[in-house]
């Protein structure tokens, strides 16, 4: 397999194996007009197996989305084919419009313009609850 190196862009590395596609969807990387490589189940000394996403464009990504899916992931910023910054991602305390409330009785179901806000209620178990109805996301 041959995946070209990127000149200017980002590499999302150390993604838990199997979570790369979820990140791809939540970050809406399919809407980009550049090369995006998703590499699944790569051998890793540290993790055993991992996923990697390479984006061949200098874009801003929502770190809250990455922290929600996998707070152990890292974002590497590449400029002129060199690593210029490595970001570690904390678990976000609040998610806004990242996931949607599935409770049909929640106010977000009847008010389409209302933001879907989830608060981190249990950091150890990574449990989020809807700000309005306290439901857990599915």
Tokens 């857990």: give the residue.
136
pLDDT, position 112: 83
Give residue 49's pLDDT: 93
> What is the token pair recorded at 73?
């992931």
In angstroms, rounded to a whole number, what is the distance separating the alpha carbons of residues 69 and 51?
12
Q: What is the pLDDT of residues 38-82, one digit of tens each?
A: 999 998 888 899 999 999 998 889 999 999 999 999 999 999 989
Instruction: Please check whether residue 33 is in contact with residue 82, taking contact to mean a CB–CB distance below 8 angstroms.
Output: no
Reported in sequence order, the residue ranges of 89-126 that DSSP labels E, i.e. its strands, are: 94-96, 117-122
Burial 99-127, CB ≥16 within 10 A → b, else e: bebebeebebeeeeeeebbbebeeeeeee
Task: Indicate where the chain has its CATH 3.30.70.140 domain(s).
Answer: 9-88
* Pairing, β 48-55 against β 36-44: antiparallel
Q: Is the pLDDT of residue 2 over 90?
A: no
Which pLDDT score is estimated for 27? Answer: 94
| 36 and 56 Cβ atoms separated by less than 8 Å | yes
What percent helix, strand, coil does the chain show, rounded to 5?
A: 15, 35, 50
Q: Decide if pLDDT at 13 tops 90.
A: yes
Cα gap 121→136, rounded to integer Å: 10
Selected from 1.20.120.450, 3.90.226.10, 3.30.70.140, 3.40.190.10, the CATH number assigned to the domain covering 9-88 reads 3.30.70.140
Looking at residues 76-98, what average pLDDT do you find?
Answer: 93
């Amino acid at each position: 397999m041959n995946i070209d190196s990127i000149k200017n862009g980002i590499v999302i590395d150390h993604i838990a194996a199997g979570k790369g596609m979820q990140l791809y969807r939540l970050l809406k990387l399919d809407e980009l007009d550049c090369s995006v490589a998703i590499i699944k189940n790569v051998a890793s000394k540290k993790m055993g197996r991992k996923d990697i996403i390479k984006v061949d464009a200098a874009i801003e990504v929502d770190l809250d989305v990455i922290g929600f899916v996998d707070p152990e992931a890292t974002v590497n910023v590449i400029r002129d084919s060199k690593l210029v910054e490595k970001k570690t991602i904390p678990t976000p305390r609040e998610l806004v419009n990242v996931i949607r409330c599935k409770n049909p009785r929640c106010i977000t179901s009847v008010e389409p313009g209302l933001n879907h806000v989830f608060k981190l209620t249990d950091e150890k178990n990574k449990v989020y609850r809807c700000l309005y109805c306290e439901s857990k996301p599915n």
